[in-house]
Chain A
Amino acid sequence: MLPESLILGAILFVIGTFGVLVRRNAIIIFLCIEIQLNAVNLTFVALSRYLGIEGQLFVFFVMTVAAAEAAVGLAIIISIFRHYKSVNVDNFNLLKW
């Protein structure tokens, strides 16, 4: 089942990347980043079945980092929404030159 799992992880990662690039809503972009993290988790688990238990540990760490990232990122989105009354990333051109 290893090649199928790796290919599924790759498909999931590509879908997540497409979502990050094509959507405008900042919360959906965050969701798509979570899809990418899940794709990598799936790859880790599939490989850990063959190469040892460490892959599952790294999935554990990826999940905690994803939780921290979601908390801080959503707080930033709330903070931005208070200023601009929008979560559309096209409106945030403060750092554009």
Chain B
Amino acid sequence: MADVLFYVLAAMVVGGASGVVLQRSPVGSLLFMVGTLASVAGIFVLLEAHFLAAVQVIVYAGAIMVLFLFVIMLLNLGHDYQADMKRGFGAFFAFGTTGLMAGLLARQLGGAGENPIYQYFPGPDGMDRILAEEGVIGAVARPLFTEYVVAFELVGILLLVALVGAVALARGRG
């Protein structure tokens, strides 16, 4: 059952991402992106990252995509259907680069499941035990507020700086 669900969601992810790249209107691209993010959240659930799935839907598909939509509407870009793809040398370069990257990744990931490194780690059973002991939120929250608390605070400062910078940039003169 989980395998079937995984392949359905994977097809939705790949189709949605292709739609983002190939769609001509920016608003259409954005809607494809929301579908892609929701499908990725579904895959997170299958991989037992329930908290991150919730954060993915609320923060990514909710807040960040609304920000993108707001900017598209503000700049009035919803109606320009002019050709947006690069042609000639640019397209050739893009195909070459991504083809090379796909080849290298396929070669690396071809035997990922049989890699001997995984036998030294607890595997899915260890994860199930952690989730049963601490719960879905607690498993993420405990290391976040103990070992990684400095990084957590720094991320808070980063968000504050980004907020101030965005306001200062978008406000313009006067």
Contact = CB atoms under 8 A, between A and B. Distances in A.
Interface of A: 1-8, 10-19, 21-25, 27-28, 30-32, 34-35, 38, 41-42, 45-46, 48-54, 56-57, 59-61, 63-72, 74-79, 81-82, 87
B8 interface: no
A44 to B, nearest CB: 9
Contacts of B162: 67-69, 71-72
A21 B68 contact: no
- In the A-B complex, the 7 residue pairs with the closest CB atoms: A68-B162, A21-B94, A75-B169, A19-B21, A3-B113, A75-B166, A10-B105
B66 to A, nearest CB: 11
A1 B64 contact: no
Q: Main secondary structure on chain A at its contact with chain B?
A: helix
Contacts of B20: 19, 28, 31-32, 35
B85 A65 contact: no
Contacts of B121: 50-52
A70 to B, nearest CB: 5
Interface of B is mostly: helix
Given A50-B122, A60-B140, 17 more contacts: A5-B47, A8-B14, A14-B102, A25-B77, A42-B40, A49-B124, A50-B123, A50-B124, A50-B127, A57-B140, A57-B144, A63-B60, A72-B165, A74-B71, A78-B169, A78-B170, A87-B77
A59 B144 CA distance: 12
A75 B21 contact: no
A57 B68 contact: no
Given A32-B20, A53-B139, A68 B43 contact: no
Nearest to B102: A14
A1 B59 contact: no
A21 B93 contact: yes
B166 A63 contact: no
Contact of B46 (A1, A38, A81): A1
A1 B63 CA distance: 30
A31 B30 contact: yes
Interface in B134-174: 139-140, 143-144, 148, 151, 155, 158-159, 161-163, 165-167, 169-170, 172
